[in-house]
Amino acid sequence: MQIKVPATSANVGPGFDSVGVAVSKYLTITVEGPSEEWYIEHDLDYVPHDKHNLLLKTALKIKSDLKPHRLKMVSDIPLARGLGSSSSVIVAGIELANQLGDLNLSKEQKLQLATEIEGHPDNVAPAIFGNLVVASYVDKKATAIVADFPDAAFLAFIPDYELRTSDSRGVLPTQLSYKKAVAASSIANVAVAALLTGDLTKAGQAIESDKFHEQFRQKLVPEFSTIKAIGHDHGAYATYLSGAGPTVMVIAPHEKVEVINKAVNALNFKGECVSLTVDKKGISVS
């Protein structure tokens, strides 16, 4: 059995802690068979192979008496870069428990469990449902609406440094005035409505007008403003900070991506530029 989970790009500008999109990088877990002890084969440094691995911690939290198996974990989702690497592992862990424990969990139940464990529905929901997801997690209840992301190309600049979500949340204000919160939420509403109606030009303007988090986090990602300016010069719809960063995501018409890619590469920032597509499927088991 194989469990495949896409990467996620959360926030999408003003959809802070609420909006996310699944993108074409993947974590794959292969269940090789029953074993005396749990063991996960992988080639990541400093990541446990046993029950201390997040995958197994999650699976065993969902069902503590699962029979041990030997597993293989392969992922091209970079760690601590704002592309949902740990979300993918948590979502895979829930699915592992679902499959090995015959739990028959619905997608909504998986969302609730994953959000309780990870904390942010915008990170985990697109990994479960695929596509564009608008979600909330209030009073311990997760709710999500899934929709088609309008046709566009995604270009991710993935810096070669890590940024922990806790550090990136540490620079956010603890309070926002009522007036600012109303303004920030109206911008988020327009971004979502524009995405749902396929108006990428208006969506792009709203995405770039975020008032919840990007202005505070910019100092942690020095490449962000330069890449955003390149997007403006070359016809991108929007540039935003993917999740808690440091990945910078550009959404652009397909025909503009190559020139944006070249312009970003010419900056010689340390990191890589990767073309991504929207994953429409979410988690799959085969």
Residues at the annotated binding site? 78-88
* Complex with ligand HSE: residue 5 or 40, whichever CB lies closer: 5
Rounded CA-CA distance 68/46 in Å is: 22
Angle formed by the axes of helices 54-62 and 107-118, nearest 10°: 120
**Minimal distance, residue 17 CB to ligand HSE, in Å:** 4
**Minimal distance, residue 219 CB to ligand HSE, in Å:** 15
Of 170, 144, 24, nearest in space to 84 by CA:
24
Q: Are 144 and 18 in contact (CB under 8 A)?
A: no
**Minimal distance, residue 169 CB to ligand HSE, in Å:** 5
**Minimal distance, residue 36 CB to ligand HSE, in Å:** 36
CB atoms within 10 A of CB 46: 5
* Complex with ligand HSE: residue 244 or 260, whichever CB lies closer: 244
Which residues are annotated as part of the binding site for ATP?
A: 78-88
Q: What angle (nearest 5°) sits at the alpha carbon of residue 274, between those of residues 249 and 264?
A: 70
* Complex with ligand HSE: residue 153 or 241, whichever CB lies closer: 241
* Complex with ligand HSE: residue 17 or 279, whichever CB lies closer: 17
**Contact positions toward ligand HSE, by CB under 6 A?**
10-11, 16-17, 120, 122-123, 165, 168-169, 213, 243-244
Q: Are 27 and 77 in contact (CB under 8 A)?
A: yes
* Complex with ligand HSE: residue 146 or 257, whichever CB lies closer: 146
* Complex with ligand HSE: residue 69 or 81, whichever CB lies closer: 81
Collapsing DSSP to helix, strand or coil, 240 comes out as strand
Give the up-direction half-sphere exposure of residue 232: CA atoms within 13 A in the CB hemisphere.
Answer: 9
Q: Are 275 and 155 in contact (CB under 8 A)?
A: yes
**Minimal distance, residue 27 CB to ligand HSE, in Å:** 16
**Minimal distance, residue 156 CB to ligand HSE, in Å:** 15
Q: What angle (nearest 5°) sits at the alpha carbon of residue 280, between those of residues 277 and 284?
A: 115
Q: Which residue has the tokens 């390149």?
A: 230
Rounded CA-CA distance 183/196 in Å is: 20
